[in-house]
Amino acid sequence: MGGKTNIRGWLGRNSFLILFCLCVAGGMAYLFWPESRAAEDILSDLEKKANYAYTVGDFAQAEALCQELVQGTENTYGLFHPNVALALNNLALVLQARGKFEEALSLLQRSLAINETAWGPNHRDVVKSLTNLALLYEGMGQTDQAARQYQKAMEAAQIGLPSSDPLLLFVQENLSRLE
């Protein structure tokens, strides 16, 4: 019994156990126990699935996933967290693609309010929210309202963003196109 241990034989017999230990040690316990995954991981997966559905044009599926993402984000972070603003923005973009402009408008306005409260009036996320509102108004044919939102976005961007920022340039181009 006290002979040499055959390492290949031992590895072969215990490969599953070794893999299991490596997975657990590497933070992959959720492969074996899905309930151990953090809420952030679940939300991240939902966001990826929603983005994929949107990208391939499955807007009904993207809408359902984004609604689930908004609800999960609100439950995880509270109603006024910047992550909720991002989830609302994503749902609004899907609704806009489906022609549900009024629903998208209320979500984008709520997203803007959250971002302004969380970051102040000149933060990049506020500029994005204003720009998305302008794009929605433009899509609805309300060019005057779109121009007002672009103007607000431009004012915030000039204060809060560097002059070389692509978002600032995007807002400038869209504003000058509507003027």
Q: Residue 73 belongs to a domain with what CATH number?
A: 1.25.40.10
22 and 45 housed in the same domain: no
Confidence grade of residue 8 (pLDDT, cut at 50, 70, 90): low
Token duo for residue 99: 């022609």
What was the pLDDT predicted at 40?
86
149 plus 167 within the same structural domain:
yes
Domain that holds residue 29: 1-37
Query: Is the predicted pLDDT of residue 17 greater than 50, yes or no?
Result: no
Write out the two tokens for 49.
Answer: 């699935």
| Res. 23: pLDDT tops 90 | no
- Closest to 140 in 3D by CA, of 102, 95, 108, 94: 102
Asked if 136 and 96 touch (Cβ cutoff 8 Å), the reply is yes
Q: Is the pTM of this model over 0.85?
A: no
Q: How many domains does the chain have?
A: 2
129 and 43 within one domain: yes
Residue 42 scores a pLDDT above 60 = yes
Q: What is the mean pLDDT of the chain?
A: 86
Per-residue pLDDT at 139 exceeds 80: yes
Span 130-157, average pLDDT: 97
Tokens of 83: 């992550």
**Do residues 76 and 51 both lie within one domain?**
yes
Phi, psi of 159 (to 5 degrees): -85, -45
pLDDT at 135 over 70: yes
User: Which pLDDT band, with edges at 50, 70 and 90, does 72 fall under?
Assistant: very high
Whether 93 and 132 map to the same domain: the answer is yes
Q: Identify whether residues 118 and 173 lie together within a single domain.
A: yes
Residues 5 and 51 in one domain: no
Do residues 78 and 115 both lie within one domain? yes
Residues 105 and 167 in one domain: yes
- Comparing CA positions, the residue from 109, 31, 42 lying closest to residue 75 is 42
